[in-house]
Amino acid sequence: MDGTIYLDHNATTAIRPAAASVVAEALAWTGNPSSVHRHGRLARRVVEDAREHVADLVGAEPSQVVMTSGGTEANRLAIGGFQGQAIVSAVEHLSVLGAAKEAKHLPVDNEGRVDVEALDALLATRRDGTPTLVSVMWANNETGVLQPLAEVVEVARRHGAFVHCDAAQAVGRVAVDFAALGVHMMTVSAHKLGGPAGVGALIVGDDAPLAMMAGGGQERGRRAGTENVAGIAGFGAAADVAKAELAAFDALVALRDGLEARIGTVTPAARIFGQGAPRLPNTTCVTMPGVDSETQVMAFDLAGIAVSAGAACSSGKVGPSHVLRAMGIEEDEARTAIRVSLGWTTTAADVARFVDEWAAMFARLGGQPPAATTAA
């Protein structure tokens, strides 16, 4: 779309050219990876090659990578395949909260970081020996806040609990080492790191008590159903590029900080959520005082700029964020927040245009004139 600016990379990022090329090539092939003839063996080789690339990106063994239809299925597989009780953070993605409806919720502080002491206390109250799964995301999709996973893992393992981590927003954006982290299961999504939508993976540790999914026995019995060969091929190619360009993604910090600084010159009343905590390099969750989130999203869209309000998982509905509410943000303020997420296609000119439009919109809808800003 010529002339438009895409700043919603946490919803989905642009597919990498290498991934798109591999997907197109794979779509021209015919073969079921479970078949034993030549066509099937070629398809199997594509899947296994991609599995190795994904494993290499996240610091796992290829045998630990279970291909799925995306992050939501991986989360449901991890939680639904666990026999026992669950504790999940209050700021988890809705696919986790929906899969763990009976779970206890772990509170977060006003920056959106989980309360590790509260986790310790919750696990200490277990008296019946029921297996427990703790699910804490690596990076929040709305604020970009990074969770203290090393502390979560230490506490959970000390109490004999298992840990699942939704790392869909983190993989390809920060360095990830599944083996060193010590979680038992971890979710990855291809379209968050430049691969095609409709494919992801659950990384399953050798000591993870995951029930097998009944069916045809694909994915070593962990996930039944014919593998999406073309999508998996694109996933592998994107994983390869993402690993090579981690440093380039980290460079987005300068663009993000410049964006936030310029908004601060427009109005000091604008609030950046999670700004005091470690965050992803690309994510800003910011309020426009007095202007509803939905109004902002529509106005930016009319101006040719794509941003979002909250997570892109509610069929286009815009409402108060459960993440911000869990952080103690009043509903009226939460309703003025939007998420701006940069990606591998974002330029300094994109950020400058966004801030200019933000300032003009605030003057028009918020009732205050824009302050002079400097180029990012």
C-alpha to C-alpha distances, 297 to 271, 306, 310, nearest whole angstrom: 17, 7, 11
* Catalytic residue from among 94, 246, 313, 363: 313
Phi–psi pair at 358, nearest 5 degrees: -60, -45
User: What value, to the nearest 5°, has the Cα angle with vertex 235 and ends 230 and 214?
Assistant: 75
Task: Reply yes or no on whether 165 is catalytic.
Answer: no
d(CA 310, CA 361): 19
Task: List, in order, residues 6 or more apart from 224 with CB less than 8 Å away.
Answer: 213, 214, 215, 216, 217, 218
Asked if 41 contacts 55 with a C-beta cutoff of 8 angstroms, the reply is no
Task: List, in order, residues 6 or more apart from 191 with CB less than 8 Å away.
Answer: 12, 13, 15, 70, 197, 198, 199
**DSSP H/E element including 349:** helix 348-365
Q: 53: buried, middle or exposed (CB in 10 Å: 19+, 13-18, 0-12)?
A: buried
Q: 136-159 burial by CB neighbour count: b if 16+ within 10 A, else e?
A: bbbbbbbbbbbbbbebbbebbeee
d(CA 164, CA 28): 36
Amino acid at 371: A
- For residue 37, what is the DSSP state? S
C-alpha to C-alpha distances, 174 to 245, 254, 314, nearest whole angstrom: 10, 15, 26
> Taken in order 93, 312, 289, 282, is the CA torsion positive or negative?
positive
CA-closest candidate to residue 171, choices 80, 81, 74: 74
The residues annotated as belonging to the active site are: 313
